[in-house]
Every structure is written in C-alpha cells, then in structure tokens.
C-alpha cells in the first residue's frame, strides 16, 4: 500500500510541477483546510478516522467541479499533489512527537483521494456531467463518496491485516461498521462543501468545516473519558495482583489474548470492548475469598467453586458501576459451555489456557492447548479453542505464554 501511494504521489507531483498549479487560490484554500485537519489529528485504540476534517476537505477538493459558478480545471493529479503537500506538512508535528502511524495514514489518504479524483475529475473535464443538475448531481457526489469510503475501508483493513496478521474478513467488517459513524459525517461534509463552494465560492469552506471540527473536539473529549474509564477498570483488575490472589500480569495477558480471539471470531467493536474489560476483571471474585486459591488458578477447581467465585466477581463488578454487560460475562464464565454467551466462552477458554501453560515448562503452551481440545466435549467451546489455536499460531504466542 505504501509503495502504491508513493508511486501515485510522485507521479502526481511531477505532473503538477510540469504543468503548473491551476486555480492557486482554491488550491491554497483546500491545502490550508487539509493542513488544519491533519494538525488536529488524534489517535487511539477506537479511532476510525484520525483526521475527519482533513479527510472531508481532501474529498471535497477531489469532487470540486466549480468555484462560485466558474468551472475548475485543476484535475486529479493536482488534487493528489495538494493533499500530499498538506498531509506531509501536517504530519511533521506528529512525527516529531512520535504519535501515530504517519506513513500508513498518509498512504491511505493519498490512495483514497486519488480514487475519488480519478473517478470524477476526468469525466467532469470532458463535460460528461454537464446535464447533471439538482438532486441528480448531489446523488452522483454521494455515490462517489460512498465508493471512496468503501475503498478506504478496504485499505484500512489491509493495513491492519499486514501489521497484525489478524484475519482480513473480520477487520473489513469492523471497518464497514465504522462507516456508519464518523465515516458518514466525513462523506456528508465532503459533499456539502463541494456543492457549497460551487455556488458561493471558497468562503463556504470555514462555514461548513466548523461543525465537523467541533464534532472532532467532542470525540477527543469522549475518548479521554473512555481512556479514564479503561484505566479505572485496569486498576480494579490489578487489585487481585496486589492482594496476591493472581500472578502479576495474568489479567492483562488474558485480556489481550481474549481480544485477539474475539477479533478472529468477528466480534464488533463494542463487543470487543466488553470482552476485554470482562477479561481484565474475570478474577476479581477472588478478593471475596477467605482462603486464596493457590496461584489464582481457578480452572482446576471444582465446577461449583468456580461458579461461586464467578458470581462473587459479578457482584463486585456491579458495585463498581461499570457496564452491566461486563458483569454478566464475569458471572457466567463458569456456567455450562452451551449456556454461556460467546464472550464468557472466550474468557473461560483463554483463562484456562493461560493458567495451564503458565507452570507447565517449555512444552506448556502446546500441552495446555491439547488439554483444551480434549475438553471441548463439555467444558470449552470448540470454535473458541480452534480460534485460540489460530491466534497462538499466527502471533507466535505459544513460545512465550507469559511474555
């Protein structure tokens, strides 16, 4: 993806420098808009679009046919060159601070903008859309933006797949789900700005970009609240380690591996969040025990004792005021396999694997996985165990279960 983006960027820059910059005022205005969006870019585990204002500005420039009633002639290559220059300049502060993955972000931006510009600018320049007016023209822009958003979702899923080796299908489904949120706002804003500039000129850009910028600031505040919420859950999860009920890092390892299994099984973003938080707090019921479980290994306890600890943990989680769905997963992690919701099945299998592999020596991971497979007749869900095996094989976690 980076190689393709580099080729497109270099070719577009060369063509633009050779032919000269058309409509310099419009190019500068859109470059500033994209630059502001890139400077306001933010990152986080749940971020779908890091720079929504920059994305909307770039897409509106790619679909710009007129400026205050005057036809434009900038073409697809100039669109890519302007977005490239603004993106590079806007990435400098983020690279200096070591935040985010600037190359992947810029590569996606270049390829998606190139796709939109190539679909629109040549046909517009040839007069294909001269007879399109009113609702038909609006629907045309929206259709092109939807196709561009789908292209961006494929590129985002492909980049994550190459980086993490997680299955491409679930990653793509999650990206497509994300289009219903900030993705739809970016598409709508891009279309509105392109139409507004065509009628009233470049003064429409600050007017129509302000709502999206304010929405981005609100999302950043919401993300900060989510981060604080997760830190609170992580602190509660560490209580069992501080009390000596479980080994250090056990909850964190179970949560990370559970999330990977959930992704492999195609859980959505909110479901993954519940799964991860429940995995972090799955042992919190041990704080209510008079006699601690040796090494915190609950997988080897009698079933009734496991259920008692799980119910105690669910009661503790409910008192903390976190999402009730987390408490349900914690409570039901020791229920009969067929009666459990999928997140509880995942937590149960991953916790058992981590406990069995932890103290079994060099061959512990393989031995633990074999024990889980032999117990799929009643104790563990077969699909979860096989997913766990795929994750371990893909991520090479079998070599270091406690790393």
The 8-class DSSP code of residue 95 comes to H
- Token output for 298: 């609950």
- What pLDDT, on a 0 to 100 scale, did the predictor assign at position 287? 79
Q: Which CATH number fits domain 243-399: 1.20.1530.20, 1.10.3210.10, 1.10.1040.10, 3.90.1200.10?
A: 1.10.3210.10
Question: What's the mean pLDDT in 37-61?
Answer: 76
Local confidence band at 401 (pLDDT 50, 70, 90 cut-offs): very low
What is the percent of the chain with per-residue pLDDT over 70, rounded to a whole number?
Answer: 92
Residues 1, 159 contacting (CB under 8 angstroms)? yes
- Residues linked to residue 71 through DSSP beta bridges, in sequence order: 66
For residues 80 and 10, what is the distance between their CA atoms, to the nearest angstrom? 10
Query: Which has the closest alpha carbon to 218: 182, 183, 269?
Result: 182
Question: What's the mean pLDDT in 224-245?
Answer: 78
Q: Which helix (H) or strand (E) element contains residue 204?
A: helix 204-242
- Choice between 133 and 397, residue whose per-residue pLDDT is larger: 133
- What pLDDT, on a 0 to 100 scale, did the predictor assign at position 50? 66
Which residue reads 């958003």 in tokens? 149
Name the average pLDDT for the chain.
82
Q: Tens digit of pLDDT for each residue in 318-358?
A: 887 777 888 888 888 888 888 888 999 999 989 888 888 87
pLDDT at position 397 over 50: no
The 8-class DSSP code of residue 183 comes to I
- What pLDDT, on a 0 to 100 scale, did the predictor assign at position 82? 93
Q: What is the DSSP string of 18-62?
A: HH--SSHHHHHHHHHHHHHHHHT----TT-S-S-HHHHHHHHHHH
Q: How many residues are given for the chain?
A: 403
Local confidence band at 296 (pLDDT 50, 70, 90 cut-offs): low
- Token output for 213: 């910028």
Domain with CATH 1.10.3210.10 in the chain: 243-399
Q: Which of 226-230, 355-359, 394-398 has the weakest average pLDDT?
A: 394-398
For residues 136 and 134, what is the distance between their CA atoms, to the nearest angstrom? 6
For residues 403 and 394, what is the distance between their CA atoms, to the nearest angstrom? 16
Question: What's the mean pLDDT in 178-206?
Answer: 84
pLDDT at position 310 over 70: yes
The 8-class DSSP code of residue 294 comes to G
pLDDT at position 389 over 60: yes
pTM of structure: 0.69
- Where helices occur in 98-183 by DSSP H, the ranges are 102-125, 135-164, 168-178
Q: Tens digit of pLDDT for each residue in 353-387?
A: 888 887 666 667 788 888 888 877 678 888 998 98
For residues 325 and 200, what is the distance between their CA atoms, to the nearest angstrom? 50
pLDDT at position 126 over 70: yes
pLDDT at position 205 over 50: yes
**Residue 272 to residues 93, 262, 263, 277, 345, Cα–Cα distance (Å):** 32, 6, 7, 9, 13
- Residues linked to residue 70 through DSSP beta bridges, in sequence order: 67
Local confidence band at 78 (pLDDT 50, 70, 90 cut-offs): very high
Question: What's the mean pLDDT in 37-63?
Answer: 77
- What pLDDT, on a 0 to 100 scale, did the predictor assign at position 402? 36
Local confidence band at 46 (pLDDT 50, 70, 90 cut-offs): low
Q: Which of 12-21, 215-224, 269-278, 309-318 has the weakest average pLDDT?
A: 215-224
């Amino acid at each position: 993806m980076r190689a393709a983006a580099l080729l497109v960027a270099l070719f577009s820059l060369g063509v633009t420098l050779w032919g000269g910059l058309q409509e310099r005022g419009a190019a500068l205005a859109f470059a500033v808009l994209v630059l502001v969006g890139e400077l306001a870019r933010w990152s986080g585990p749940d971020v779908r679009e890091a720079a929504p204002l920059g994305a909307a500005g770039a897409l509106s420039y790619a679909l710009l046919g007129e400026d205050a009633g005057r036809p434009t002639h900038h073409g697809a290559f100039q669109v890519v060159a302007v977005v490239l220059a603004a993106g590079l300049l806007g990435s400098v502060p983020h690279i200096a601070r070591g935040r985010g993955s600037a190359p992947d972000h810029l590569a996606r931006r270049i390829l998606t903008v190139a796709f939109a510009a190539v679909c629109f600018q040549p046909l517009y320049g040839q007069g294909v859309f001269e007879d399109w007016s009113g609702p038909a023209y609006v629907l045309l822009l929206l259709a092109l933006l939807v196709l561009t958003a789908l292209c961006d979702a494929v590129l985002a899923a492909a980049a994550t797949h190459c980086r993490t080796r997680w299955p491409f299908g679930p990653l793509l489904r999650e990206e497509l789900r994300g289009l219903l949120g900030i993705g739809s706002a970016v598409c709508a804003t891009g279309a509105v700005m392109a139409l507004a500039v065509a009628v009233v000129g470049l003064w429409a850009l600050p007017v129509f970009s302000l709502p999206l910028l304010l929405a981005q600031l609100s999302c950043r505040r919401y993300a900060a609240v989510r981060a604080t919420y997760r830190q609170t859950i992580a602190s509660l999860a560490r209580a069992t380690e501080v009390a000596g009920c479980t080994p250090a890092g056990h909850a964190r390892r179970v949560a990370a591996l559970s999330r990977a299994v959930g992704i492999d099984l195609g859980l959505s973003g909110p479901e993954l969040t519940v799964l991860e938080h429940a995995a972090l707090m799955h042992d919190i019921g041990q704080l209510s025990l008079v006699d601690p479980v040796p090494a915190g290994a609950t997988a080897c306890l009698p079933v009734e004792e496991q259920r008692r600890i799980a119910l105690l943990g669910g009661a503790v989680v409910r008192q903390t005021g976190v999402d009730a769905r987390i408490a349900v997963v914690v409570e039901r992690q020791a229920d009969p396999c067929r009666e459990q919701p999928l997140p509880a099945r995942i937590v149960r299998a991953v916790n058992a694997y981590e406990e069995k592999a932890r103290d079994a020596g060099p061959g512990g991971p393989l031995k633990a996985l074999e024990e889980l497979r032999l117990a799929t007749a009643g104790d563990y869900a077969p699909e979860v165990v096989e997913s766990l095996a795929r994750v371990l094989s893909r991520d090479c976690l079998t070599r270091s279960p406690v790393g």
